[in-house]
């Protein structure tokens, strides 16, 4: 089944003000790496990348009450955001649980 959705509706759903940054996770300890002390973070699941796929994975895990953390070099700069394919990602997210 196919639905034709106008570009203006899709744009109104995707052209949203993005939050700046989420609060950082709490440091659970530290690691000494040849004299350099690095913070240690712990979680059950680590998602690498804050693109559409990374956020989608993190959201679905959180919905299942999984302790999840997202690590990224830049927030909201994934391939999907830069290429304009987030609209397809939103459609996929909307079909969650229907297959």
* Residue 16 confidence (pLDDT): 58
- Given pLDDT bands bounded at 50, 70 and 90, which one contains residue 13? low
User: DSSP labels for 12-26?
Assistant: HHH--PPPS-PPPPP
pTM greater than 0.85: no
Cα end-to-end distance, the chain, whole Å: 14
Average confidence (pLDDT) over 14-40: 80
Q: Is the pLDDT of residue 84 over 70?
A: no
Q: φ, ψ for residue 45 (rounded to 5)? A: -135, 130
The beta-strand segments (E) located in the chain are: 29-33, 36-40, 45-48, 68-71
């Amino acid at each position: 089944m196919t639905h034709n959705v106008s570009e203006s509706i899709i744009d109104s759903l995707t052209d949203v003000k993005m939050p700046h940054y989420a609060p950082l996770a709490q440091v659970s300890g530290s690691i000494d790496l040849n004299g350099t002390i690095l913070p240690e973070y712990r979680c059950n699941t680590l998602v690498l990348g804050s693109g559409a796929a990374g956020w989608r994975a993190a959201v679905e895990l959180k919905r299942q009450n999984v302790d999840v953390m997202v690590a990224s070099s830049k927030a909201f700069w994934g391939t999907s955001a830069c290429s304009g394919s987030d609209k397809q990602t939103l459609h996929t997210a909307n079909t969650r649980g229907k297959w």
